[in-house]
Structure 1
Amino acid sequence: MRPTISTPYSFCLYRSGVDSFVEAVRTGLRELADPVKAPEMQAYMKSEMPFLGVQKPGRVALLKSLPRIDSRDEWLDAVRTLWREATYREERYVALALSGDRRFQSVELLPWFDEMIVTGAWWDYVDEIASKRIGPLLRSSPDVVRPLMLKWSVDADRWRRRTSIICQLGFKGATDVELLTACVDANVEDPDFFLRKGIGWALREFAKTEPGWVRAFVEARPGLSPLSRREALKHL
C-alpha cells in the first residue's frame, strides 16, 4: 500500500533535508580543519568555544559547494541548528554567513538576529549582524527597526547597544542623524571599551560624508571618551 502523504511524513522529509545540509557543513568543516591554526584563531578571538582552524576562504568555498536551500523554513531551520548546536566557532560563522541570504530577509527575522547578538556576545558576530543584517532592515523598514534601535540603545546588554550605534555604517547621506545622535548620546559616558570603540567607528564613518557635523558633534560633547574622540576625528 502506498503511504499517504501526511503532515508528519512531510515534516520528516523536510527535517531530513535540513539535517543533511547541517551534516554536510559539519563534515566539510572537519575536512578543512587545520590543527595548527585552530589554537591561534581561538587565542586571537579570545573564544571559549574551540576552533577547527578553517579560515574564511575555506568556509566561503564550502558554502558555495552545498546544495541551494530554496525553502525559507528550511533555510532558517538550518541557520538556527548550526548556530544553537555549534561546538566549533566555524559552525557559527557558517550560520552567520547563511543568515544573510537576501531572498529571505524581512523584519520577521529581528527576534532571531537579536538572539544571535545576545548569545554570540562578541564583536566578530555582532558587527556583521549590526551592519549587514540590521542595517539593511533599518533602510527597508525604518518604522519597525528605528524604535527597536532606540530601545536597544539603552538596553542592559552592551551588544544590543553597540548594534544600535553601528547599524548605520555605510549609510552615508542616508544616515538618520537623529537616530545616530540618540544612540551615541545614550552611551557616550559608558566606560565599556566596545561601546566607546563603536561610537568612534560610527562617527568616523559618517565623517566621510559630513565631516563638519561630526567635528561639531564631538566638540559639543566634553564627556566623549578619548578613545571615541580619537576614532571619530581620525581622518579629519
Structure 2
Amino acid sequence: MDLIATVRQELQSMSDPVWQEKTRRFFKESVDPYGVPTGDVRKLGKYFYPFLAPLQKEAVFTLCEQLFASGKQEECLIACDWSLRPKKHYTADDFARFSRWVDQYVTNWAICDTFCNHTVGTLVTKYPELLPELEKWTTDSNRWKRRAAAVSLIVPAKKGLFLDTVFRIATALLEDTDDLVQKGYGWMLKEASIPHQEAVFDFVLDHKTVMPRTALRYAIEKMPEQHRREAMAK
C-alpha cells in the first residue's frame, strides 16, 4: 500500500468545502486545508497505525516529512501524530531533525502545538540534556520556534518536571511582542502552576510589571481567585 497516496485519497473524499472555508477563516495565517474536521483527521491518522507498526523509525519519519512537505493542514496534523509513533526508539540525535521540521513546516499554532506538545515534549523528557538546546529556540527570529520553546514543555510542566527550565524560557520570552508567543509561554506557566502553584505565583508577581497582560492572564488561569486578583492588580 502507498500510505501517502491512500491518506490523500481519504482526505480528499472527506473534504467539505464549507469546512474548508471555515478553516481558512479560523487562522490569521494563510492555510491550505482539505476541509476535514480535526477530530476526523485524528481518527484517520489512527486508522493507519497498524500499517506504521512494522516500519523502522526512519521509514516513519520519511512518511512524516512527505506529509509535512505538502503544506496541507490535515496532512501536517497527521504527520505530527505519526511522528510520535516511534517514540520508544527516539534518540537525542532526533532533536536536530525536529528542530528543522519546526523551521520548515510549522506555519500556524495548531501544527506548532500538536507537534511540540507531544513529539518534542516526549523527546526532551526522555533526554533532559536537550533542554539547553530547547532554550536556544527562545532567541530565534521565527515566531513559531519561540512559541515551540514554551509549548514543548506543556506536558512535562503539568507533571511537575523541569521547573527551572520553565522559568528560564518564560524569562527569555517575557517581553516578546508576539501575542502567540506570549500565549505560548503563559500556557506553559499555567500548566506548571498545577504542581507548583506558589512558585509560579511568585514568578508572576516578580515579573508582572513587564509581563504582557496576555501572558499574565494565561499564567494565572488555574490559580485561586485571590491569587488571580493580586496578580492582576496594578
Give the TM-score taking structure 1 as reference length: 0.83
Matched residues, percent identical?
A: 22
CA contact (8 A) 1:117 1:125 kept: no
CA deviations over 1:62-102 (Å, ceiling 9, x no partner): 3344461322232121111111134x321212222211213
Higher Cα radius of gyration:
1
Number of aligned residue pairs: 216
| 2:74 is the counterpart of 1:90 | yes
Mapping 1:13-92, distance limit 5 Å? 20-66=2-48, 68-69=51-52, 70-72=54-56, 73-86=58-71, 88-92=72-76
Change (3 A) 1:65 1:176: closer
1:114 corresponds, among 99, 121, 124, to 99
Equivalent positions of 1:43-192 (< 5 A) are: 43-66=25-48, 68-69=51-52, 70-72=54-56, 73-86=58-71, 88-101=72-85, 102-119=87-104, 120-143=106-129, 145-171=130-156, 172-192=158-178
How high is the TM-score relative to the length of structure 2? 0.84
- Amino acid paired to 1:192: D
- The Cα of 1:104 is off from its aligned counterpart by 4.2
SS at match of 1:156: coil
1:99-147 Cα deviation digits (max 9, x unpaired): 121344333322332233223231101112221011111111111x112
The 1:215–1:64 alpha-carbon spacing in structure 2 relative to 1, beyond 3 Å, is: closer
Deviations 1:141-169 (A, max 9, x none): 111x1121121122222222222222221
Task: Name the Cα RMSD after superposition.
Answer: 1.9
Distance 1:63 1:191 in 2: 35
Gaps of 5+ in 1: 1-16
